């Protein structure tokens, strides 16, 4: 490969942001989505994440799966509405839309209703609830599109490498499966064969299953060839110290988080949480000595990574603050049924999620080969 050929790849690496920053950004947006049921704010979160994905997505199977995450989110929203119609809702309402035939149930199934009156209040409440979950799924899809799990695996501490490999294999199964289905359907269309309906699904399913099995065998062979699972010899004292620090750190994180969530634990929650995080990081640092793995071209954590992660964290923090100070604005009521209003400063806080679109340059696209 000539230097001219390496140029686009090297420049792409220079402008790449640490994958952990993208995941923190996306998951923080998901945390912000859990703090509100206002459909206007949730739609703003979806729009902000979609814009960043559209401008900075990577050409990988995980990035192509973003559309699948969006479809899954839409399906979740529809299922939530169907459940509200079929099983009823505890939300009282006076605006009756229609009435379904009600199925009588035995006495031990009290509290469950099949059919009956369907009110606008119940549907709106179910829509708010389903949209919140759909936003969470879209944020996870954005994390996969911007930084695939394979890139994130390279940045994990050595102590978490083996666990990270298992998680990455599980996370990349669905994107690879979707890519195989799209490839096989395109091949069938080129051959003039049907790719829709039950017949097309059955004829595509067998090659997809065969490809998944072949990929699993190839992955196992590659892991064995690379010495997956090898560990270095470390003194027994270091092993015991590592276990104590990691276990104590996790217990401290759990106790500190519990303290933050309770009214009585506000004084000791933050110190315990910080001490637990410090102990866990020290344990992971010591545990990395057992790993013989080396990193090739590690992704640097630079100023842009801080800005990306900080923008998402700021959105989550500001929405949490808004939910505590003005819960009515972030959780619009449905009884009585009123149109949701757009709170200004929470909406402005969500706009901070667009910061990565301006501080991170877009990766150069590979030139198209002439046909």
Is it the case that residue 193 has pLDDT exceeding 80? no
Among 186, 181, 178, which Cα is nearest to 61's?
178
Quick one: which of 312, 283, 239 has its CA closest to 27? 312
What CA–CA distance (Å, rounded) separates 279 from 72? Answer: 38
pLDDT at residue 368 in the model? 43
Which helix (H) or strand (E) is 102 found in, with range? strand 96-103
Q: Are 116 and 84 in contact (CB under 8 A)?
A: no
Tens-place pLDDT, residues 259-308: 766 656 556 667 887 888 888 778 777 766 666 556 556 677 888 889 99
Q: How far apart are CA 199 and CA 167, in angstroms?
A: 34
Residue 353 confidence (pLDDT): 92
Q: How far apart are CA 309 and CA 27, in angstroms?
A: 10
In whole angstroms, what is the distance from residue 316 CA to residue 49 CA? 13
Mean pLDDT of the chain: 77
Q: What's the whole-number mean pLDDT along residues 227-254?
A: 74
At 231, is the pLDDT very low, low, confident or very high (cuts 50, 70, 90)?
A: low
**pLDDT value for 366:** 46
Every domain of the chain and the residues it spans:
14-155+299-359, 233-290
Per-residue pLDDT for 41 more than 90? yes
């Amino acid at each position: 490969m000539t230097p001219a050929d390496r140029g686009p790849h090297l420049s792409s690496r220079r402008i790449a942001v640490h994958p952990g920053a993208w995941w923190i950004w996306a998951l923080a947006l998901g945390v912000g989505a859990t703090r509100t049921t206002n459909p206007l704010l949730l739609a703003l979160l979806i729009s902000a994440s979609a814009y960043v994905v559209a401008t900075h997505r990577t050409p990988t199977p995980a990035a192509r799966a973003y559309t699948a995450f969006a479809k899954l989110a839409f399906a979740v929203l529809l299922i939530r509405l169907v459940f509200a119609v079929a099983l009823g809702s505890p939300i009282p309402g006076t605006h009756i839309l229609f009435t379904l035939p009600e199925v009588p149930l035995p006495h031990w199934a009290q509290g469950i209703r099949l059919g009956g009156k369907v009110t606008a209040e119940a549907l709106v409440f179910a829509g708010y609830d389903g949209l919140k979950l759909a936003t969470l799924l879209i944020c996870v899809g954005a994390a996969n599109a911007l930084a695939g799990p394979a890139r994130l695996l390279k940045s994990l501490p050595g102590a978490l490498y083996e666990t990270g490999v298992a998680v990455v294999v599980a996370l990349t199964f669905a994107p690879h499966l979707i890519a195989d289905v799209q490839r096989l359907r395109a091949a069938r269309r080129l051959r003039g064969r049907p790719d829709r309906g039950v017949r097309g699904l059955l004829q595509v399913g067998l090659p997809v299953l065969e490809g998944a099995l072949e990929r699993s065998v190839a992955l196992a062979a590659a892991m064995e060839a690379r010495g997956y699972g090898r560990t270095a010899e470390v003194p027994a004292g270091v092993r015991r110290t590592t276990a104590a620090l990691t276990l104590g750190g996790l217990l401290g994180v759990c106790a500190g988080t519990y303290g933050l969530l309770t009214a009585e634990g506000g004084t000791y929650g933050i110190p315990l949480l910080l001490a637990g995080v410090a102990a866990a990081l020290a344990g992971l640092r010591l545990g990395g000595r057992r790993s013989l793995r080396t990193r090739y071209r590690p992704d640097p954590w630079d100023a842009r990574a801080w800005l990306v992660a900080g923008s998402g964290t700021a959105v989550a923090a500001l929405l949490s603050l808004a939910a505590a100070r003005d819960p009515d604005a972030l959780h619009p009521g449905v009884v009585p049924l009123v149109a949701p209003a757009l709170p200004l400063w929470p909406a402005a806080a969500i706009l901070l999620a667009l910061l990565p679109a301006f501080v991170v340059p877009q990766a150069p696209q590979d030139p198209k080969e002439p046909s």
